[in-house]
């Protein structure tokens, strides 16, 4: 019997390549997202780390703040999905209708803030294995 793996993106260690807008939709192009995979809770329980390209699409988007330059190496962030706030993580899979607010911060203390009414995550290509992890990473931001 195959064990079901749970996955989530760790915003820290991900790279945002660009942000574009098409018909009120913001498209965030990540050249690399860091993915935790575990049989338990991703990023907390033992598991593995992977990298992959990804697109995050936010409908009815409003850009409130943005980085002056791309690509942007991300230090921290959070996503609000209706009444839930997820710190430094983006769930996989992700397809949500309702209030969305995404805040991303770089190592240079630059911030992007985008809100909208719907969000969808698309992983591109195949993930590449990076490492095994045994304990909860320290998130002292």
The pTM for the full model equals 0.89
Cα 112 off chain centre by: 13
Longest dimension (CA), the chain: 49
- Angstrom CA distances, 66 to 25, 47, 52, 109, stand at 15, 33, 23, 11
Please give the average pLDDT of every successive group of 10 residues along the chain, which has 141 residues: 75 95 95 94 89 98 90 97 96 97 95 97 97 67 44
Give per-residue pLDDT as tens, 57-69: 999 999 998 888 8
């Amino acid at each position: 019997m195959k064990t079901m793996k749970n996955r989530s993106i760790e915003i820290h260690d991900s790279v945002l390549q660009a942000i574009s807008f098409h018909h009120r939709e913001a498209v965030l192009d990540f050249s690399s997202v860091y993915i935790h995979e575990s049989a338990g809770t991703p990023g907390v329980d033992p598991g593995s780390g992977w990298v992959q390209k990804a697109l995050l699409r936010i409908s009815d988007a409003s850009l409130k703040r943005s980085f002056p330059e791309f690509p942007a190496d991300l230090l921290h962030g959070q996503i609000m999905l209706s009444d839930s706030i997820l710190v430094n993580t983006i769930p996989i899979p992700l397809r949500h209708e309702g209030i969305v607010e995404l805040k991303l911060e770089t190592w240079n203390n630059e911030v992007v803030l985008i809100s909208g009414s719907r969000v969808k995550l698309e992983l591109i290509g195949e993930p590449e294995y990076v490492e095994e992890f045994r304990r909860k990473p320290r998130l002292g931001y």
